Amino acid sequence: RAITSLEIGMQAPERSAISDTGKGGRILLVDDRQSSYERLATILAAEHTIDVEPNPTEALFHAAEGNYDLLIVSLDLNNFDGLRLCSQARSLERTRHVPILAIADPENATRLLRGLEIGVNDYLLRPIDKIELLARARTQIRRRRYTDHLRDNVQNSIEMAITDALTGLHNRRYMESHLATLAEQAATRGKPLALMILDIDYFKSINDNYGHDAGDDVLREFAVRVRKSIRGIDLACRYGGEEFVIVMPETDLHVAGMVAERLRRSIAGEPFAIHKGTKRIEVTISIGLTTLEQKGEAVGDVLKRADTALYRAKHDGRNRVVS
Ligand code: GH3
Ligand code: MG
Ligand code: MG
Ligand code: MG
């Protein structure tokens, strides 16, 4: 049998998203009329996993915790406005993307219009037809899975675009696009900003003596140690082959000097494992350190000053911090 180009061209996830039946979803049904929810739950249980919650406040909590593919909300709750629940679900980060299928009595139909405005995805009027309920539920679940899949893809491409693949640190492009913003924030808030360039000493000879893979191991382990010695708000990036930049908001020269010195010692003090842990080699780094000097200073000038300091650290014998 000939394989069609369509089959070859499509990636597995795309194919499954398109052929997804919309069955096997997790549904939360919010309805407080027993005769109603018992019937709806029985119908839906043929194709999905279904939880019923009569209390709308509890429902919101479950919806945020439960990882549902679909919320079905009755707008005819006894003591609560179902629309309010819908708008709350739309405003919560955890439930924002979960589709909502509203159910209403025909005399409440006008309120459905408001529901659609606040983000209800579809609705059904009572009395509810079994086939139609199943079809609408499947459509929403299929859509939910597909947009989740797209969102994951977008998220992945963004992450790949700003991350260095070898070390998992930010890449140079990201740092450069972010540094100007950080410098601006520092200037307007009257806070200091420190920046250091780190360069592994005689890295070429690590490659030459132990192989390129050993060099890669050192770079990866180096990134791990960098991450351990900085704060969440600091920005660490791989600037070039064996050169790294760390930007430290709200940090003056004195404190940044201590961080740099601690980092230098954490590298020099603990040999790096290479060749799958069978060998350990000593590694040192040189660091050029500086701070943003005046409001509106070009970030290129800050980088240049750090680079000059790095050059002096190399020239003065390596394995040291110069500011
Ligand atoms: P110095 O102390 O003056 O910094 O000497 P150095 O040998 O570290 O500096 P040099 O700039 O001469 O060499 C850097 C080397 O880093 C050259 C390049 O082949 C190597 N390199 C760049 N990127 C990678 C990488 O991703 N993996 C490995 N294994 N090596 C890399
Ligand atoms: Mg060099
Ligand atoms: Mg080097
Ligand atoms: Mg270098």
- Is pLDDT at 32 greater than 80 in this prediction? yes
What Rg value do the Cα atoms of the chain yield, rounded? 29
SS3 annotation, 249-301? ECCCHHHHHHHHHHHHHHHHCCCEEECCCCEEECCCEEEEEEECCCCCCCHHH
Judged by its nearest atom, the ligand closest to the C-alpha of residue 317 is 1
Distance 241 CA to ligand 1 centre (A): 6
Give the H or E element holding residue 150.
helix 130-162
The C-alpha atoms of residue 240 and residue 15 are separated, in whole angstroms, by 39
- Is pLDDT at 5 greater than 50 in this prediction? no
Cis before 127? omega within 30 = yes
* Ligand 1 near 202 CB (within 6 A): yes
State the pLDDT at residue 79: 77
State the pLDDT at residue 17: 53
User: Which residues does the annotation mark as catalytic?
Assistant: 242
Mean local confidence (pLDDT), 67-94: 92
The C-alpha atoms of residue 3 and residue 253 are separated, in whole angstroms, by 64
State the pLDDT at residue 111: 86
Q: In which band, very low, low, confident or very high, does the pLDDT at 18 lie, cut at 50, 70 and 90?
A: low
Asked if residue 195 lies in contact with residue 301, where contact means CB atoms within 8 angstroms, the answer is no
Model confidence over 217-244: pLDDT tens digits? 999 999 999 999 999 999 999 999 999 9
> Which residue's CA is minimally distant from atom 17 of ligand 1?
204
State the pLDDT at residue 76: 86
Token representation of residue 217 = 């191991």
Return the ligand 1 atom nearest residue 200 CA. 8
Q: What are phi and psi of 98, to 5 degrees?
A: -80, 125
Top mutation candidate among 205, 207, 281, 320 for ligand 1, by most atoms within 8 Å of CB: 207
Q: How is residue 108 annotated by DSSP?
A: G
* Number of other residues whose CB lies within 10 A of the CB of residue 162: 15
Q: In which band, very low, low, confident or very high, does the pLDDT at 11 lie, cut at 50, 70 and 90?
A: very low
- What predicted TM-score, i.e. pTM, was given to this entire model? 0.72
Return the ligand 1 atom nearest residue 318 CA. 2
Distance 231 CA to ligand 3 centre (A): 25
Distance 203 CA to ligand 2 centre (A): 8
* Ligand 1 near 199 CB (within 6 A): yes
* Ligand 1 near 216 CB (within 6 A): yes
Return the ligand 1 atom nearest residue 207 CA. 29
The C-alpha atoms of residue 206 and residue 200 are separated, in whole angstroms, by 10
Ion ligand 3 nearby residues (CB, 5 A): 199-200, 203, 242
State the pLDDT at residue 123: 94
- Is pLDDT at 160 greater than 80 in this prediction? yes
Could you tell me what percent of the chain has a pLDDT over 70? Answer: 94
Residues 6+ apart with CB under 8 A from 213: 274
State the pLDDT at residue 19: 67
The C-alpha atoms of residue 27 and residue 312 are separated, in whole angstroms, by 64
State the pLDDT at residue 213: 97
> Which residue's CA is minimally distant from atom 21 of ligand 1?
241
* Ligand 1 near 315 CB (within 6 A): no
Q: In what order do the strands lie in the sheet with 170-171?
A: 170-171, 235-240, 243-249, 193-200, 285-291, 321-322
3-state secondary structure of 49: strand
Return the ligand 1 atom nearest residue 218 CA. 29
Mean pLDDT computed over every residue of the chain: 92
Token representation of residue 176 = 């450069």
Mean local confidence (pLDDT), 138-142: 96
State the pLDDT at residue 2: 42
Q: In which band, very low, low, confident or very high, does the pLDDT at 16 lie, cut at 50, 70 and 90?
A: low
3-state secondary structure of 32: coil
Mean local confidence (pLDDT), 42-61: 95
* Ligand 1 near 242 CB (within 6 A): yes
Q: In which band, very low, low, confident or very high, does the pLDDT at 295 lie, cut at 50, 70 and 90?
A: confident
